[in-house]
Amino acid sequence: MVRNGVSLGTHLSALIIYCLGCTRELVSAVKLFSLLPDEQKNTATYTALIATYFSCGDLHKRMETFDTMRRQGISVAIRTYSVPFSCLEQNCQVQKLNG
């Protein structure tokens, strides 16, 4: 649908990306995110993608996506910060969050 120009809307897109992450469908979640128009790549969709990387255990891509989001000037919500913090904490790498 997204590829054919049908907009799912930001929140539905974020929800689908998040649900794909919960079922560990990383490739599908990343593909959906990449197909979104730039105006729909916002706090909600980035946070869903970060949570997907968290669910699938990809620390590097999680942090890379978080950094990309911040560099692009996209607002970061409390939930956005909690995803990388919790994953770093679980991996005993809290010091990376401050650096």
Specify if 3 maps to a domain: no
**pLDDT tens digits along 55-73:** 888 888 988 998 899 899 9
**pLDDT tens digits along 24-36:** 999 999 999 998 9
Domain count within the chain = 1
Look up the CATH number of the domain holding residue 17. Answer: 1.25.40.10
| Residue 94 pLDDT | 46
| Residue 42 pLDDT | 92
Question: Which has the minimum average pLDDT: 38-42, 66-70, 90-94?
Answer: 90-94
Domain range for residue 62? Answer: 10-98
Cβ contacts of 40 within 8 Å, gap of 6 or more = 7, 9, 10, 13
The C-alpha atoms of residue 40 and residue 34 are separated, in whole angstroms, by 10
Query: For residue 87, which of 68, 73, 72, 64 has the smallest C-alpha distance?
Result: 64
Specify if 4 maps to a domain: no
Q: Dmax over Cα atoms in the chain, in whole Å?
A: 43
Specify if 90 maps to a domain: yes
Specify if 5 maps to a domain: no
For range 80-96, the mean pLDDT: 56
